[in-house]
Structure 1
Amino acid sequence: MELQTILNNVDYKILQGDVHVTIESVAYHSGLIQQDSLFICLEGTKRDGHDYIAQAVMKGAVAIIIQKQVGLEFVPKDMTVIQVENTRNVLPVIASQFYSHPSQSFRLVGVTGTSGKTSVSHLISSILQHSGRKVGTVGTLGDRINNTEMNAYRTTPTTPETVDLQASFAAMRDQSVTDVIMEVSSLGLKNKRVLECQFDVGIFTNLSEDHLEDQGAFDDYKESKLSLFPMCPYSILNADDPYISEFIAATNGCYETYGINNKEADLVATHIKDNENGVTFQLTHKEFQNEVYVPIKGAFTVSNTLAAISCSLHLGLEIDDIVEALKHVRRPDGRLQTIHSPEGFTVMVDHANTPEKLEKVLLNLSPIKKGNVFVVFGCGGERDRGKRAVMGEIASRWSDYVIITSDNPRSEDPSRIVAEVEEGMKAPGDYEIIEDREEAIHRALRMAEPRDIILIAGRGNEDFQEVDGSKVVFNDFDVVEKFMNQHTSPIKEG
């Protein structure tokens, strides 16, 4: 695409070169620059893209966009240099234009809130897929089309940087996706990553002061969340939240509310029954009443399900079809399934069971690390023994403390497995061995302090542990949830 076309709707000044050059890719990070790239210099909190202009030249970029005065003596005279007032503000416009405005090709739902984003997104996606739609999801669990993970580049854990986001949207459009559900973080909103997204629905789950490390003042955090709703022609809001009136005021006037405690909401859940198989409740709406069953335990499931029902109705599904679909919902697949403790630490359950997967997960945690990172993991029995020490070394290198435990030992001696993992550990004082997996998880939960992250890796959403030829009921997420319910106030998941 020609640079002049990409710069439509952008105020800019040409410092040298011209805009009649062909752009093959847009890069905002020096590591992404390719031949014939457009390199956009962003000022970050730790790095300044203007310091990487020389790299851009060497790697073959044909045009550079800057926002401040820099020396251009090492830039070839025929290379195009454009100046704008603020590169971060124009990045969404450029990215959307380069990928031909992909969010116009499907229905886009944005989900924001302190917790519940992942769960609500998963529930909506499951309902829509059950109805036969092709659904894209963007968020903590990665970028997916239906249940297939996309090979998408990411530098942020929840809402991708705007160029990466538009690239994923374009891939979804090219595969005829009908609906996309996206988790929208406060930082994603604050940093304008979703500025050029054409939303159809915005969902608000809840708001608390649990995660202010990156934004500081609560009012700034709240304002970031509120900024989603003027972009949405239709909004779905949690009437139980104390800030509901402010979110209603932020909408365009077209909205629906849901709640458990607020009986004035448009969708209300009553007669809630939580048992070992899931949760049931009575759904009341001005147009119908239904009994709803969801095979996912936890009181938080009810509120999240109400949001998902409201959204699915707005997207054209019938209530009977939605209720039937909910009976078949499964918990997310265990990829960075996140639980936020009231004490201020975070637990993530992930299926990472190979060196490559474990290292990728730990590297993805680096940008959001505020305290210590704990890893609880083991290796399966009767499988590749060569990876055990390698995974021990990776866990030791990229975390602050490791608890080596059992995974699925099968008929192999658990002691031998953990001993082989231990061979890869680099720092003797920074790990311990607890063969019993439940005890190991409990140990990490007791050790964690505010701002820490606990990664429980290897099993994801597996519901059984294979021990000595038998299958024993065991789910990492359930162990964490049970512990927190017994030792702390109710948890939030999402």
Structure 2
Amino acid sequence: SQGAPAAVIEVNPAMLYNHVTAGIEFDLVVLTSLRPGQFAGSPTSQQLANLTQNCLKNLKPHGVVLANNDDAHVASFCETLDCPVAAYGLDAGKQVRGKRLDRAGGQQQVLAIAGNLMMPLTLKIPGDHVARAALAALTASWVMDLSIPEAIAAIESLETIPGRMQRVVSAVDVPLFIDQAQTPDRLAVALHALRCHHFGPATVVMDIGNHLPVSWRQRLGEVLSRHSHQVILTASDICPEAAQSLAMDVLGGCNAPERVQVIPDRQAAIHWAVRHTQQGCILLAGCGVNNCVNRDGEEISDESVAKQAISQCNQIPSLPKLSIFPPSSASEFFSR
């Protein structure tokens, strides 16, 4: 109704199961993963394939499937399709491929190969999943016969994605990132990205509110225990008593519970993490761009609290200027 030339819809398995996309015709469908869930009740790979197959019935006659060929389930599924498929990937791409060149300081450089064209692509956001998303965008440009150099320039202009490996630029000595990472798998991906960029030991401030199903809790503890140096568990949308109970479930998956702090107040937890992390990096996970309410009834975000905490830590206390000669007049610090 607003005259937008295009729309991008992110569809999850639950949406496919409930036929949320019924009646919507697609020009492009990007398949990022068909990996089955790790928990009881999660759809199997075959069930995901069936749901996706049903969704592809809405592909327009000229439509194309963009497939992440690095995912074995996606690659296998696409072999059964009778519609056009353009495969991309870092490891097993076909039409569009990426070759890792370098990773440093939170940035990564990939040699993008689209058809017969090769160009370096520099991304300001860490993570293989970010690189694959960039290749998916490049594949869309290649399929639609758009300028590849212009597409690369547009991708490189992206400074940050709010709530997705978002770096707080004011954190210099100890890099600080914000990521949605509400599930164990997504948290593992975020921590893997930080590890690949050699940021050092990670302090994770993880929110474990109402969004965390019982089946995820122990697995979340395993991921935190295996890939982080220090953990602070918070609860932005439940009372402290409930948070303590939920934290015990998460601790059931930790093999080093002594490295875990439970601070239900997320604002206080972020301040604690910033004050007590002298090396490595900090990851604020579980909330992303979502706001929560602090004890004073104010809406806060991870980004605003992190900036406030960093600003307070960076403040240098004012000291009197001392001189080897006695002052000629009384000062506020000394008198004759």
TM-score (norm 1): 0.40
1:223 is matched by which residue type in structure 2?
Answer: N
Q: 1:269 to 1:309 in 2, by over 3 A?
A: same
Corresponding residue for 2:141?
312
Aligned to 1:299: 128
User: Superposed, which structure 2 residues align to 1:168-247 within 5 Å?
Assistant: 174-232=1-59, 233-247=63-77
Tell me the residue number matched to 2:97.
Answer: 268
Change (3 A) 1:200 1:466: same
**C-alpha spacing 1:436/1:398, structure 2 compared with 1 (3 Å):** same
Deviation at 1:257, TM superposition (A): 0.7
Alpha-carbon contact 1:376-1:455 (below 8 Å) kept: no
Whether the aligned pair in 1 keeps the contact of 2:66 and 2:136 (CA below 8 Å) is yes
- Structure 1 stretches of 4+ moved >6 Å: 343-347
Cα distance in 2, alignment partners of residues 454 and 185 from structure 1: 18
Q: Unpaired runs of 5+ in structure 2? A: 165-178, 191-207, 222-231, 248-261, 293-299, 317-336
Mapped contact 2:34–2:45 kept (Cα < 8 A): no
**What is the DSSP-based 3-state SS (H/G/I as helix, E as strand, rest coil) of the residue aligned with 2:181?**
strand
In the TM superposition, residue 433 of structure 1 has moved relative to its aligned partner by 10
Distance 1:470 1:279 in 2: 28
Q: In structure 1, what residue type is equivalent to 2:314?
A: S
Secondary structure, aligned partner of 2:20: coil
CA contact (8 A) 1:376 1:404 kept: yes
* Distance in 2, Cα, partners of 1:260 & 1:272: 11
- State the shift of 1:227 in Å: 3.3
1:341 aligns to 2:201 (yes or no): no
1:435 equivalent among 253, 269, 272: 272
Distance in 1 (CA, whole Å) between partners of 2:101 and 2:57 is 33
The 3 A distance-change label for structure 1 pair 369 and 231 is farther
Deviations 1:240-266 (A, max 9, x none): 222244332454421211122226x11
SS in 1 for 2:103: strand
Match of 1:396 among 225, 240, 253: 240
The answer on whether the counterparts of 1:376 and 1:403 sit within 8 Å (CA) in structure 2 is: yes
Partner residue, 1:323:
152
Matched letter for residue 263 of structure 2? I
1:287 Cα offset (Å) = 3.6
Q: 1:308 corresponds to which letter in structure 2?
A: A
Give the 3-state SS of the residue equivalent to 2:150 in structure 1: helix
Kindly state the Cα deviation for residue 397 of structure 1 after the two structures are TM-superposed: 7.5
Tell me if the contact between 2:32 and 2:74 (Cα under 8 Å) persists in the aligned partners: no
The separation in 1 between residues aligned to 2:114 and 2:86, in whole angstroms, is 11
TM-score (norm 2): 0.56
Task: Map residues 470-481 of structure 1 onto 2, 5 A cutoff.
Answer: 470=314
Shift of residue 216, structure 1, vs aligned partner: 4.5
CA distance in 1, matches of 2:156, 2:315: 25
Is the contact between residue 34 and residue 48 of structure 2 (CA under 8 Å) also seen in structure 1?
Answer: no
* C-alpha contact 1:240 1:262 (8 A) present in aligned 2: yes
Asked if residue 248 in structure 1 is aligned to residue 85 in structure 2, the reply is: no
Given that 1:259 and 1:303 are in contact with CA atoms closer than 8 Å, whether structure 2 keeps it comes out as yes
Q: Secondary structure at the match of 1:296?
A: coil
Structural RMSD (CA): 4.2
Q: Give the CA deviation at 1:306.
A: 0.7
What letter is aligned with 1:291? P
> Are the counterparts in 2 of residues 333 and 460 from structure 1 also a CA contact under 8 Å?
no
**CA distance in structure 2 between the partners assigned to 1:279 and 1:240 by the alignment:** 18
Cα deviation, residue 396, structure 1: 3.4
Offset, 1:334: 1.9
Q: Is contact 1:236–1:255 with CA below 8 Å preserved after alignment?
A: yes
One-letter amino acid matched to 1:236: L
SS of equivalent to 1:323: helix
Distance (whole Å) between structure 2 residues aligned to residue 252 and residue 460 of structure 1: 45
2:312 corresponds to which of 458, 465, 468: 468
8 Å CA contact retained: 1:405, 1:434 = no
